[in-house]
Structure 1
Amino acid sequence: MDRSAEFGRWKTQSLSKADLSRKGSVDEGAVEVVELLNSRDEFFTTSSCAGRILLLDGMAALNGTTSDAVLKFEPFILHVQCRTLQDAQLLHSVAVDSGFRNSGITVGKRGKTMLAVRSTHGLEVPLSHKGKLMVTEEYIEFLLTIANKKMEENKKRIGRFYNCLQHAMEREAISNPCSRIKEKNNPRFTHKNERNQGKRHDLPATQDSEKELAEDGGLELTATLFQGDD
């Protein structure tokens, strides 16, 4: 089986899987990017998270339990399997230009090429230790203000990524007429069947994608490096 056909088989299998995430669907903030990528022959998404603010161990940790509480902001993250390294490099360039400067490409021994879209503007601050609050409530409010600002910036970066991705695909279509988007006249893909396809398989972006690549013998590359023969 040639690489293109094998990639098509991987994509079909991935998109047909049930969404096993707790939410059961793609985050609203990421759905347009997911649908746009999945509409292309060169890509399909395997996991995503639009970003979140959370308090690990819950508020109870701030009320005298023996737990440690940590306030976290986790920015947008997206894992995309790409048909070729060249396709991954194009997507990597779009991600970096959009503000996701911690993005990276991983190539596995079996030929799987994965792009992780990541940024560095996360936040993780310990608030209590063994049930003892280590900061003031005023400082917690300050941290929440910062976390909310980071979330707003996160949303802007997702928007830039979506717009830059559209433009990159349009330029590619001009230079390569054989490359096409399924919905030529409506890049937002509002047809119900396309939207459901995007929601059906995408899992939360945890360590699962990295684990799969590690089992595949993955090697992370920059956008300018190439791996030798498998």
Structure 2
Amino acid sequence: MSSGFLAKKQKIVDHLDQPINEYSDLSPKGSVDQGIRTLIDEINQLGGLVTTSSCAGRISAFLEGRKRSSPAQDSATREAPHEQSIAGPGGKGGGQWLFVSHDAVELPSDVIDNYCSTLFGLQEGAKAVQRAKHQAGRRYVHLKFEAMILHLLTASLDDAQKVLSAALQAGFRESGAVGLATNADGSVTPMVAVRSIGLAFDAVVGYENDDDKMVAVVSESYLRSLVELANERFAVNTDRIERFRSHLLKQYEKDGQTAKGKKSGVDWEDAAARRERKRAEGLKLQQSKAEQTRLSKQDCPESNDDVALENVFG
């Protein structure tokens, strides 16, 4: 196992070990999804793996980024400093999250007018479906469901193969690996993505009008049907995550390594051992500083009254 991999892993795990109120990352939510936190902790206790990013799965309403469709619009965009980015084809890039949930959405048992429309920031959802003519540059609102996605840095081709095997057996059939070339130090540390697009859907449910309002183009009942579909897929996603976890841990158990320990011969410590080591090192450092302070006070008199005159004048 290369020193480069171990250094990267230590840095990532130290970051994840921060207290909840101090932790933040680059995701829209800024923290690890609770539905996948246990899995991440277990994976990071395995010597040859470390997670680099993750999402437990989500349902979201997303407004596309502002598009560049004409020279006139380009000029207008340049004159609007509040626009931070321009989207590419299909609205990719920029944009705004109107709603995000990493858990199934609880719906009221009774149908409530505009419940889902309001939830997703849409107006006029209970009225007749808007038949707005498509316009170049128009920004659309998408309602999406996405399954779990997990990126792992692995210490070897063998570790990458274990992850891919577990992912495919669990139903994450679009999983793959990159970084298969040899590093400068002779090691190979592939990056593996565990993912599936088979459960995903993306439906256009509204658009932004000239008054910057989000207008629904589908009925309230259709929005509710999409939410119910997403909730069903959350259940399937949860089952696949558990199967992935089971298949992955079994493969490492065959090598004498589990999520609660370490493989013999691998210079790695789990989170509990690391915290205990750091606590002991901190206590030792405090004791050392206290001893140095005590000795310093003995060597340096507190006032001139304590200094013998013969030591000064010879």
Unaligned runs of 5+ in 1: 174-179, 195-230
Compared CA separation, residues 19 and 113, structure 1 to 2 (3 A):
farther
> Given the alignment, which residue of 147, 153, 160 partners 2:243?
160
- Matched residues, number: 182
> Given the alignment, which residue of 234, 253, 257 partners 1:151?
234
2:202 aligns with 124
Q: How does 1:128-147 map to 2 (within 5 A)?
A: 128-131=206-209, 132-147=215-230
**What is the distance in 2 between the residues matched to 1:23 and 1:34?**
17
Alpha-carbon deviation of 1:37?
1.1
Compared CA separation, residues 70 and 192, structure 1 to 2 (3 A):
farther
Compared CA separation, residues 182 and 124, structure 1 to 2 (3 A):
closer
CA offset digits 1:181-229 (Å, max 9, x no partner):
36249xxx996978xxxxxxxxxxxxxxxxxxxxxxxxxxxxxxxxxxx
Look up the equivalent residue of 1:169 and give its one-letter code. Answer: Y
Compute the TM-score of the two structures, normalised by the length of structure 2.
0.52
Alpha-carbon deviation of 1:169?
1.4
> Given the alignment, which residue of 153, 170, 186 partners 1:98?
170
SS state of the match for residue 30, structure 1? helix
Q: CA RMSD in A?
A: 2.7
Shifted more, 108-117 versus 153-162: the winner is 108-117
**What is the distance in 2 between the residues matched to 1:157 and 1:41?**
23
Compared CA separation, residues 161 and 146, structure 1 to 2 (3 A):
same
Matched, 1:79 2:154: no
Alpha-carbon deviation of 1:89?
0.9
**What is the distance in 2 between the residues matched to 1:171 and 1:165?**
10
CA contact (8 A) 2:157 2:180 kept: no
CA contact (8 A) 1:32 1:162 kept: no
Compute the TM-score of the two structures, normalised by the length of structure 1.
0.69
CA contact (8 A) 1:82 1:114 kept: yes
SS state of the match for residue 101, structure 1? coil
Compared CA separation, residues 114 and 141, structure 1 to 2 (3 A):
same
**What is the distance in 2 between the residues matched to 1:44 and 1:151?**
25
Alpha-carbon deviation of 1:133?
2.7
1:38 aligns with 44
Identity in percent: 31
Of structures 1 and 2, the larger Rg is shown by 2
Compared CA separation, residues 22 and 134, structure 1 to 2 (3 A):
closer
2:14 aligns with 16
SS state of the match for residue 29, structure 1? helix
Where relative contact order (Cα < 8 A, 6+ residues apart) is larger, the structure is 1
Compared CA separation, residues 56 and 99, structure 1 to 2 (3 A):
same
Compared CA separation, residues 192 and 31, structure 1 to 2 (3 A):
farther
1:53 aligns with 59
